[in-house]
Every structure is written in structure tokens, then in C-alpha cells.
Structure 1
Amino acid sequence: MSMTLRVAATPSAPELVLRAWRDDDVPELLEVYRDPVLLARTRHSLTTSAEARRWLARNRQGWAAGRRFSFAVCEPHPHSGVTRLVACIVLKDVVPGRPDAEVGYWTAAAARGRGVAPRALDAVSRWAFTRFAAGGLTRLELLHQLDNPASCRVAEKSGYGFVEVLPARPPFPLDGHRHVRWRD
């Protein structure tokens, strides 16, 4: 089951469209993954079309299994309607009867600092709490390494309060932060 979420435009930010990943996203996905900042913050690098297609296939499998929901976040051009990829938001480890799940995200270099991640993360969080309320979902966690203050700001702007420092553990070489958002 895939779906599309929309985040309305504001006076200072364009509309966002959150949708399932498609095969025609490969070129933009590879372009985004050329960013050294993104590569330093993610566990997987995508350098070839074959790697990107496998990544997309795993995302489709996650949706089909009902446990991992990855959204391509796109900005439509106001006049042409053509969209550009600006971020990814993922809801993972969704298990019926379990009260918590995890969210993660990345933002394309050209979209950083424009409020894309907090707006998209808030939309997916609200969707998750509504969609999985009957299964008992009451808490979402966002984890990031200590050396990533931008993720602290995204978490706070998205309603994820700081909870604790987590000790480093593979594959993460540094201590991290746990942020939590509770269902209203």
C-alpha cells in the first residue's frame, strides 16, 4: 500500500509532495547521493543505477510488508508542475502491538535550511499516528549522532523532544541523541 501526502505551501515555503519511490527517481537519487555531507550521515551509499534500483526495491518490499514506509519528498515547480527530489522520510520498525517505531530522514543539499525536513517529518509523524493507532502506536523515536546539531533542530521543530544521549554502537562511531514524539 503506497500513498501520497501533501504539505501545503506557506508564505515562505513551497508545497511538498510525499509519495512512494518510483523507478524514474534513480537519476535524482544518484545525484542527491553525490553529496559528501549526506554520505557521511547515512549507512548506505548509492553510487550506481543498480544500487539505486536495489534500494528502491527494498523500499517497495517495506511497504508491502507493512513495516517500513519510505517517502520521496518532492517540491513541485509552481508553473511547470515538474517536481524535484528534496528529501526522504522513513517510518521503520512498525510492528502491530508494539507502541513505538522509528523515523529517519535525509535532506538533499539544495533543500537544507529551508524547513523541508521538519515539515515533511511532521506530516509523516501525523500520518503514522493516525494510520497505526489501532495497532497501538503511541511513540516515535528519532535518533542521530551527537555531531549533527541540524538534526536536533529538525527534531525539535517537528515535535520530537530530546530524551537522552545514547552511547556509540556500530555502525555509528559517535554517541547519539534520542528524540521522542508522542501521539496526541
Structure 2
Amino acid sequence: MLHVAATPSAPALILRPWCMEDVPALVEACRDAALRHWTGSAVENDADAVRWVRAQERGWAAGDRFGWAVLEVQPESAHGQLVGNVVLKGVAPGKASAEVGYWTAAHARGRGVAPRALEALTGWAIDTLGADRLKRLELLHQVDNQASCRVAQKSRYVFETVLPAAPPSFPLDGHLHTRRRIA
């Protein structure tokens, strides 16, 4: 579990591996048209959400994908509300880079959730995997996703290049931002 301190304008965040308790909140978050557009989410119902959470659990068990539920913690509550997702994916032995991804639930956008959660994930990845193998993290998004570009900048991921479109999965050009481990 990772903890992100509250700021004067935002409550504390907790990042933890996804679990079956998250299924209802995941289904609700994935009803958002913008989230579906940018992520290509295939979570339509509880059964889809269960499959999605199980895939996250398999990634943790295999050590190649680390998905974290992002919860916002209110002082008056012992439990957090799901506000997003961050993931480290493409982790493999001998591979010096991996990709990060994220999304924010509609009700939590504009409150700094994604950059704060991404910063926590980045620190964890570098501290946990960096010493032995992970040297570079990559963040990719479509060129027209200005919100993701702002998240990358706020999280100190440096713009590196424009990637050509690769339809059908990536119909438009994309931006590649990177963050490197400082030796």
C-alpha cells in the first residue's frame, strides 16, 4: 500500500492493489464516456469488472503488471472512495523500461489525483525495481489527450517524441514521455 499525503486543496490518497471489493465502484467509474474513450474500457458490468480485477491480480502474481486502485481518503471516513487507477506494465526480466498508465474517475477529475498517484507509483517503481533493472518509465497518450499531457508534465515525465499512429488500437499519433532513474 502506498500513501500520498493530503495537500491544502486535496485529501490524502491510498494506492493499493485492486480487489473484488472494488467491483461496484469500478463498474460505476467505467460508465463515464470520457474514460471509455481514452482507455477503451471493456468494463460494462460486474462480470467484466471481476475479470478485470482478476487480470490485475494475475499481473501482480506474475510480476509483470502492477495495477493500483487509487482511493481518496476523507478525514471523517475509515474507507476510501475509488477515484482512479495507476499501473506499471510491461515489466520483464532483463528489460530496462516499463510503461505507466492511469485514469481518473469523472467525479475526481481536476483535483490532482492522476499526477499525485502517478508520482507515488513512479517512486515505488524506481525504489522497488530500479536498483536491479528498471531504468526508464514510459508514458504514452494520444496527441489530442491534453489532460494526459498535463499529467505527464506535472509528474516530471519529459516529452521525448511523437509516435506514429498504429490503427486500429492507436488511430492517432501519440506522445511518448519518459522518466529515467537517476543513478
Task: Give the match for residue 19 of structure 2.
Answer: 22
Change (3 A) 1:96 1:134: farther
Q: Which amino acid aligns with 2:95?
A: R
Deviations 1:132-166 (A, max 9, x none): 12332110000000110010000010010101111
Residue 99 (structure 2) aligns with: 102
Counterpart residue type for residue 156 of structure 1: Q
For residues 119 and 68 of structure 1, what CA distance do their matches in structure 2 show? 20
Shift of 1:78: 1.2
Bigger CA drift: 128-137 or 28-37? Answer: 128-137
TM-score by length of 2: 0.96
Amino acid at match of 1:151: S
Structure 1 outlier segments of 4+, above 2 Å: none
* Aligned partners of 1:96 and 1:135 also within 8 Å: no
Structure 2 partner of 1:38: 35
Report the 3-state secondary structure (helix = DSSP H, G, I; strand = E; otherwise coil) of the residue aligned with 1:132.
Answer: helix
- Number of the residue aligned with 1:147: 144
Partner of 2:54 in structure 1? 57
For residues 155 and 94 of structure 1, the distance between their equivalents in structure 2, rounded to whole angstroms, comes to: 20
Deviation at 1:25, TM superposition (A): 0.6
Once residues 101 and 13 of structure 2 are traced to their aligned partners in structure 1, the CA distance between those partners, rounded to angstroms, is 17
Rate the CA distance shift 1:46–1:78 in 2: closer, same or farther, 3 A. same
- Quote the residue 1:77 is aligned against: 74
Shift of residue 113, structure 1, vs aligned partner? 1.0
Which residue identity lines up with residue 180 of structure 1 in the other structure? T
Amino acid in the other structure paired with 1:84: Q
**8 A Cα contact 1:160 1:180, kept in partner:** yes
SS class of match (1:86): strand
Secondary structure of the residue aligned to 2:175 is strand
Give the counterpart of 1:172 among 170, 173, 176: 170
TM (norm. structure 1) is 0.96
Q: Distance in 2 between matches of 1:134 and 1:78?
A: 36
DSSP-derived class of the 2:67 partner: strand
Does residue 126 in structure 1 map to residue 118 in structure 2?
no
Contact 2:14 2:72 in 1 (8 A): yes
- Alpha-carbon distance, 1:22 to partner: 1.1
Q: Does 1:86 align with 2:80?
A: no
Superposition RMSD on alpha carbons, in Å? Answer: 0.9
SS where residue 78 of structure 2 aligns?
A: coil
Q: CA deviation at 1:172?
A: 1.2
Q: Deviations over 1:28-66 (max 9, x none)?
A: 000000100000011332111111000000000000000
